[in-house]
Amino acid sequence: MAVMTDAVTAGDAALSVRALTVDLPKGMERVHAVENVSFDLKRGQILCIIGESGSGKSVTANTIMGLLPKIIQVSSGAINLDGTTIVGAPAKKLRQLRGRVVSMIFQDPLSALNPLMTVGEQVTEVMAAHGVGNKASRRERALELLTEVGLPDPELMYHQYPFRLSGGQRQRVMIAMALALEPTVLIADEPTTALDVTTQAQILKLIRDIQRRKDMSVMFITHDFGVVAEIADSVVVMEKGRIVEQGTADQVLKSPSHPYTQRLIAAVPRLTGEDRKLKAQANDETVLTVNGLCKTYRSGSALFGSQRVVPAVQDASFTLAAGRTLGIVGESGSGKSSLGRLLIKLQDSDSGQILFEGRDILKLSESEFRPLRPRIQMIFQDPFASLNPRSTIGQILTVGPVAHGMPYAQAREEARALLSHVGLDAGAFGRYPHEFSGGQRQRIGIARALMFKPKLLIADEAVSALDVSIQAQILKLLDQIQRETGVSMVFITHDLRVASQICDEIAVMQKGRVVERGPPSQIFLKPQSDYTRELVAAIPGERRRES
Amino acid sequence: MRSFLFNRFAQSLVLLLIVSVIGFVVLNLIPGGPLAQFGLDASMTQDDLNRLAEQLGLNRPLWMQYLDWAWRLLRGDWGHSFRDGAPVLEVIGRHLMATLLLMGSSTVIAIAIGTWIGVRGAVKRYSVFDYMATVGAMVALSIPTFWFGLIGIYVFSLRLGWLPAGNMYTIGDESVLNYLHHLILPSIVLALVHVAIWSRYMRTATLDVINQEFIKTARAKGLSERRILMKHVIGNALLPMITLLGMQLPSVLTGALVTETVFTWPGMGRLFLDSLGYSDYPVVMGLLMFSAILVVVSNLAADIVVAIIDPRIRLS
């Protein structure tokens, strides 16, 4: 291993990385996971590393932590952490640094906590591992930490198991754990990506506050420029393992110099307060009318008094005109996905009305509804799980229409035409899903839905799993298709910025109820309900842009 | 939790009912029947046999015999052996300890060794040890228990003379050491196949846990690999194994029947074979019901233990 001359003076950098190159195992799509990466994390600052999936940002973090899997090796470069050289250091020395000098929090706070240990055990464990304090003092410190990260009733939390906590609370526990030994550097790997937008805002504020109070240095990994705008002092932009641009947050956000950064920032869905301008439809007929729709989930048994009743959708009412898009926005557990399932009768509703082209489909039996099914199609969130890996794209596209009576030759012709329509090569017809990227698969998902020439598309978090630049392309495609075919769309999302891009009208859901409904200009500029106001305020990066 | 227990209990009762009906019918389909045994005695006349059938209630229709038997069973009367008239429960009781001793010791061996092999194989995946463990497990799974028993007797008893070839103790010496000495070979032979199964499952379960995010968290906290393994990996990996243990019990029991025959071990396996030979229906049915109850109870116990250990089930 060639260790570069350590030209870095520990001076004002808590962490400095010089010419770091990490190799991927042979046979991967590229040779290096990260290549010739250099940056400094200045003391008392927050450095954001931003990049899309596969940019090497997580590999960089794991290298600093000494947590790389064995098959990935550092081939050259130097890392200096608070005066200690990391690359090439023995495992034991690295272990002594972890949790004490540098600690890390992760993306998914549920799977990052041991399900069989209480919160208290997990927080005190880090102190015990470094031989700090005794049982009583560790306990006291843990309670102090739980208070510091803003958890209610720390004494109760201490004895709680992770599964009892909400996502935000779990991430707070992770932060408490990371802060236990007052590390110099905190590495946060997409810590808010799995959280709801309001929770995300709280956690970002918490990290910012603690960083300021303790004058800690934070390396914050994210894919979201909104988050960068919210929290960063300086920014490193990575693409395919290389740093393409770095500078202060203001520099990078306001006047990005590298074309990749420019493209990335341009692709970030902006919150627009402007309403969508569509040609007035010749026939402004109503495609979908929903009246007082209700659904309640029951689990457990009433007999033993242990029944849990969750009102998923309560009294939902709205209408959707031909060629228009209704956004359904809400946080997890708001009932937005349940509503989507009710609309295509994947689940039975308890009461209410769903009028599709004037017929109440709620009253139809499954066999009466079947001829209507092709006219309501769904686009799913996960472009990986929703395509059968053993079928060719051609089979995936044609099997449905053929089952509904279309001759195969015709189905094949239409499938080929649609594939090129959604921006894929017609040669995709004979290939398998694994040969395509996430964005391409989502295009295939859209083509599959369009095969039936539906009147209504239901897109459930259709762009949530995609990188921003791909997200922007898919949104554009959906918009274009709607303008051409006049299909109506119900667009379910947790992301207000995305909703503002594509929706004519937005319904905000909270705990199963539609709390507000209106055009984007109303929702974002003049929100009527407190909850909508809270949601809009929590959108990361919006404040900075206004100022 | 309460409704879960109630459901499981109800399911178990239905299961036992089905087992008893099938067992009773199949047993009575076997040609010959209990009277054939008595018929072997040359001094028995047809009249004697008829009288015997009358006494034992064997001349009634089958369904009536079943209902009578089931009703008595529910009240705790498991019937009497045709062979010596002793109560069935007492006959089973005499052989029960021997079988439980063998099953218990071999299960302990299987879990201890299997867990160790499985965890080590997962931690050092694709190492020489891991490959050897894989091959060893395949061998142990493909060779029948009685063969291992016979080879064990040949090598360790006949050739080396280290261990006794059979029986539970030497007559006249009933010390604990003597029991243990006799227990070594049969319990290891019975454990072999279960070491193989247990280690494979344990390896998979450990691999699942090792790739979980919270193991990375544990590393990021600076814990030692040893502590991570003991505190974070094994605990979580053993959770699904408890259910497996409950499901494995029936096969330990059948394995015990074979092993007992090879090692002339005076347990329920021997009793079962002997009773079948004599068409001693009450004892055979008793053994059948007894092992069915054992299986049902151990499965239920496994579920309850999981529920107690896993806070996600215990507290919700």
Chain A residues closer than 8 Å to B234 by CB: none
- In this complex, is the C-beta atom of A112 within 8 Å of any C-beta atom belonging to chain B? yes
pLDDT for the residue numbered B316: 62
pLDDT tens figures, A178-197: 999 999 999 999 998 888 88
* Digit-coded pLDDT (tens) for A325-351: 999 998 888 888 889 889 988 888 888
Chain B CB within 8 Å of residue A104 CB: yes
Summarize pLDDT for A480-506 with one digit per residue, the tens.
Answer: 999 888 899 999 998 888 888 889 999
**Which CATH architecture does the domain made up of A13-101+183-267 adopt?**
3-Layer(aba) Sandwich (3.40)
Q: What is the pLDDT of residue A165?
A: 87
Q: Cβ separation of B217 and A112 shorter than 8 Å?
A: yes
> In the predicted model, what is the mean pLDDT of residues A454-458?
92
Contacts of residue B311 in chain A, CB cutoff 8 Å? Answer: 115-116, 161, 163
Of A46, A39, A41, the closest CA to residue A20 belongs to A39
Residue range B77-85: average pLDDT? 83
Q: Do B220 and A103 touch (CB under 8 A)?
A: yes
- Check residue A5 and give its pLDDT: 39
Chain A nearest C-alpha distance from B49 (Å): 55
Question: Residue range A167-186: average pLDDT?
Answer: 92
Would you call A106 an interface residue with chain B, using a CB distance cutoff of 8 Å? yes
B227/A129 touch (CB, cutoff 8 Å), yes or no: yes
Chain B, 188 to 227: residues with Cβ < 8 Å from chain A are 212-214, 216-224, 227
Q: What are phi and psi of B45, to 5 degrees?
A: -95, 170
Residue A249 · residue A233 · CB < 8 Å: yes
Task: Tell me which H or E stretch contains A105.
Answer: strand A102-105
Give A129's contacts in chain B (Cβ within 8 Å).
221-224, 227
Q: Which residues of A126-147 are buried (b: 16+ CB within 10 A; e: fewer)?
A: bbbbbeeeeeeebbebbbebbe
Q: Is the pLDDT of residue B118 over 90?
A: yes
Which residue of chain B comes nearest to A160, CA vs CA?
B311
When CB atoms are compared, the residue of A95, A164, A174 closest to B224 is A95
pLDDT over 70, % of chain A: 93
Distance to chain A for B218, nearest Cα, Å: 8
Provide, as residue numbers in chain B, all residues whose Cβ is less than 8 Å from the Cβ of A95.
222-224
Q: How confident is the prediction for chain A on average, in pLDDT? A: 87
- R_g of chain A computed on alpha carbons: 26
- Tell me the CATH number of domain A286-299+310-546, given options 3.30.300.30, 3.40.1410.10, 3.40.50.300, 3.90.180.10: 3.40.50.300
pLDDT at res. A302: 54
Q: Enumerate the domain spans of chain A.
A: 13-101+183-267, 117-176, 286-299+310-546
A162-167: long-range contacts, CB 8 A cutoff, minimum separation 24: A162/A110, A162/A113, A162/A114, A162/A115, A162/A119, A163/A110, A163/A115, A163/B311, A163/B312, A163/B316, A164/B315, A165/A119, A166/A199, A167/A109, A167/A110, A167/A194, A167/A195, A167/A196, A167/A199, A167/A332
**Coil/strand/helix, residue A356:** strand
pLDDT at residue A17 in the model: 93
> B117-149: string of b/e by CB count within 10 Å (b at 16+)?
bbbbbbbeeeeeebeebbeebeebeeeebeebb
Residue A543 binned pLDDT confidence (cut-offs 50, 70, 90): low
DSSP per-residue letters across chain B: -HHHHHHHHHHHHHHHHHHHHHHHHHHHHSSS-HHHHHHTSTT--HHHHHHHHHHHTTTS-HHHHHHHHHHHHHTT---B-TTT--BHHHHHHHHHHHHHHHHHHHHHHHHHHHHHHHHHHHHTTTSHHHHHHHHHHHHHHHS-HHHHHHHHIIIIIIIS--S-SS-SSBTTB--HHHHHHHHHHHHHHHHHHHHHHHHHHHHHHHHHHHTSHHHHHHHHTT--HHHIIIIIIHHHHHHHHHHHHHHHHHHHHHHHHHHHHHTT--SHHHHHHHHHHTT-HHHHHHHHHHHHHHHHHHHHHHHHHHHHH-HHHHT-
- pTM recorded for the entire structure: 0.80
Asked if the C-beta of A195 comes within 8 angstroms of chain B's C-beta atoms, the answer is no
* Cβ–Cβ gap B221/A112 under 8 Å: no
Q: What is the pLDDT of residues A359-374, one digit of tens each?
A: 888 888 888 888 888 8
- The domain locations on chain B are 2-74, 88-314
Closest residue to A67, CB basis, from B220, B310, B311: B220
What superfamily in CATH does domain B88-314 come from?
Answer: MetI-like (1.10.3720.10)
Statement: residue A479 has pLDDT above 60:
yes
CA distance A227 to A207: 12
**Cβ–Cβ contact B125 with A under 8 A:** no
B216–A112 C-beta distance less than 8 A: yes
Average pLDDT over residues A521-529: 88
pLDDT in the model for residue A301:
55
Say if residue A233's pLDDT is above 90: yes
> What's the pLDDT at A467?
83
Q: How many Å lie between the alpha carbon of A178 and the closest alpha carbon of chain B?
A: 8
Cβ-defined contact of B217 to A113 (cutoff 8 Å): yes
* pLDDT exceeds 50 at position A353: yes
Confidence grade of residue B158 (pLDDT, cut at 50, 70, 90): confident
Q: What is the pLDDT of residue A216?
A: 93
A126: nearest CA partner in chain B: B221
- CA–CA separation, A224 and A329 (whole Å): 19
Which token pair is A331? 């946080």
B312 with A161: Cβ contact below 8 A: yes
Residue B220: its chain A contacts at CB < 8 A?
65, 67, 98-99, 103-104
Any B CB within 8 A of A174 CB: yes
Q: Which residues of B touch A96 (CB under 8 A)?
A: 222
Average pLDDT over residues A298-321: 75
Structure tokens at B244: 């497996």
pLDDT per residue over A44-65, tens digit each? 999 999 988 888 898 999 999 9
Give yes or no for B93 touching A (CB within 8 A): no
* Cross-strand bridge partners of residue A310: A297
The C-alpha atoms of residue A338 and residue A175 are separated, in whole angstroms, by: 32
Partner A contacted by B311 (CB < 8 A): yes
Which chain A residue shows the shortest CA-CA distance from B231? A117
Q: Looking at the complex, does the CB of residue A108 fall below 8 Å from at least one CB of chain B?
A: yes
pLDDT band at A10 (very low <50, low <70, confident <90, very high): very low
**B:3-22 residues touching chain A, CB 8 A cutoff:** 3, 6
Cβ of B222 and A96 within 8 Å? Answer: yes
Interchain CB distance below 8 Å, A129 and B221: yes
